[in-house]
Amino acid sequence: MEVLAGQKHKHLEFTLVAVSELSSSSVPPSSTPVIARFSVDSGVAELRFRQDSGFIDGFNVNLGTAQLFKLGPLKSLCISGSSDSNKEKSYARGVTILFRNEEESRDFHSAFEQWQNEDVTQGTHLPNGAISDVKSKFDNKIESSSAKMYFHYYGQLLHQQNMLQDYVRTGTYYAAVIENRADFTGKVVVDVGAGSGILALFAAQAGAKHVYAVEASEMAEYARKLIAGNPSLGQRITVIKGKVEEVELPEKADILISEPMGTLLVNERMLESYIIARDRFLVPKGKMFPSVGRIHMAPFSDEYLFVEIANKALFWQQQNYYGVDLTALHGSAFQGYFSQPVVDAFDPRLLVSPPMSHVIDFNEAKEEDLYEIDIPLKFLASVGTRVHGLACWFDVLFNGSTVQRWLTTAPGAPTTHWYQIRCVLSQPIYVMAGQEITGRLHMVAHNAQSYTIYVTLSAKMWGPGAEQGGIIQSSSCKLDLKEPYYRMSQPQPYTTAQDQQPHQLLQPQDIPIHTDDLEEPKLLQQPLENSGAQLQ
């Protein structure tokens, strides 16, 4: 890998095994390696390929319109529009790339993404709030129709009101800011995805020197009105309409504040924008509110929920529906209903074992870390029962200098607009008390601003000789976090089945806290210890 830089040009080169058109199985005729060259000239980033000291005709890639996909450990596919300015019409093309080893493949993918960013910003000095006309990183990875619906949704006051009236959410943010005035007084703050501007106003109340409220939806206009209606605070707040991936600010921030959490913490993929804002706007060692997120998981047993979902497909078991036999579609409908994550509030006594957690440190995480999240699961069943799936919730930490405060969405805690989420297996598994449950939660981001979820739960052999045994039951499911089943019911009165022992009551404060993933274990107080909207 070679890098050259000058005042007007710079480039980065990789040595490849081969490169070929997707429509052709042939490789340029030569035994010598192929050189992939990233370069920027006149503000346009390109990827070109050369061999035998000459560039291969027709193989240049405009990074502003390109996407790179991994086909295997050593093979990738690059799709782009034509970069030939002489063409009257652009067209899509595919180029397959073969690498020498996995390390060079990873480096190439990382460089590809960095140089796409270069294409956006090269040679451009945008004034405060101005937006580049070039396609941004957000636009490259998010489907335009999804982004349009997303910004339309958050551009409506009724949805902002729904979030503002979540008093656990709003009150915890207020307390976290006001109780940590030392972090805000005299500081420059950026509110990432400001919405109505309420967090920017909280920061101003805490004594911020200036707040830049960045909001991409039409809600930016409402935020300006709300802030103008509070002139004593508003004179220190500037609303900027645009995406954090695109706008430029006149100064760096001492602290970022945002509410980037979606269902299961990561839905809507705004956490990636929060991390991008950190890298673009935050001074070294600056603070982030929130600074840490945790996804909690535990197997659950809920016969009522399972039957409720399964019964939805009974419609398709009709053999004479206006003379039509619908049963051919019953299996597809059954699996379709079980592909929807269930969003509701449930009784924590439905949990079959104590939960485990996966930590995301927003101060250290890379954007790429959120593209794919793979969590090994291991639980010990506390009761003998049927396991119907995996229950998940999250909490976030506001690591203030004065007070460390948690916002939790745990079952049994005051309900938030996030509720909890459950991934239900179409084939439950049976466990005995003391039996080990293993599995995996695998989440893969997609361009509709959400994730495809893969869940596997397995029961290991139980009893004498279990160490020599293996898996005796296993069940898996695939779900789309973008298409949940909003059940929204409050926890039902818990009844104990006659053939099983009562489930152990797991309070939110029973959630185990893993301090190995954080530099300052002392910050990890119990989630509910400082939660709530009221101030003393």
How far out from the chain centre does Cα 513 lie? 22
Taking the C-alpha atoms of residue 283 and residue 279, their distance in angstroms, rounded to an integer, is 9
3-state class (DSSP) for residue 283: strand
Q: Kindly name the residue from 179, 268, 272, 367 that is annotated as catalytic.
A: 268
Residue with tokens 């009893």: 463
- Give the per-residue SS3 of 268-332: CCHHHHHHHHHHHHEEEEEEEECCEEEEEEEEECCHHHHHHHHHHHHHHHCCCECCECCHHHHHH
How far from chain centre, in Å, is Cα 447? 11
**Unique residue bearing structure tokens 């206006």:** 322
Nearest alpha carbon to residue 401 among 210, 254, 225, 278: 254
263, with CB counted inside 10 A (0-12, 13-18, 19+), is buried
531: left (phi over 0), alpha (psi -120 to 50) or beta: beta
| Contacts of 31 by beta carbon, 8 Å cutoff, 6+ apart | none
Respond yes or no: is residue 13 known to be catalytic: no
Backbone φ, ψ for residue 290 (5° rounding): -85, 170
103 is catalytic: no
The answer to whether the Cα torsion of 257, 261, 266, 267 is positive or negative is negative
Helix (H) or strand (E) holding 151: helix 144-154
Catalytic residue among 259, 367, 519, 520: 259
Q: Catalytic site residues? A: 259, 268
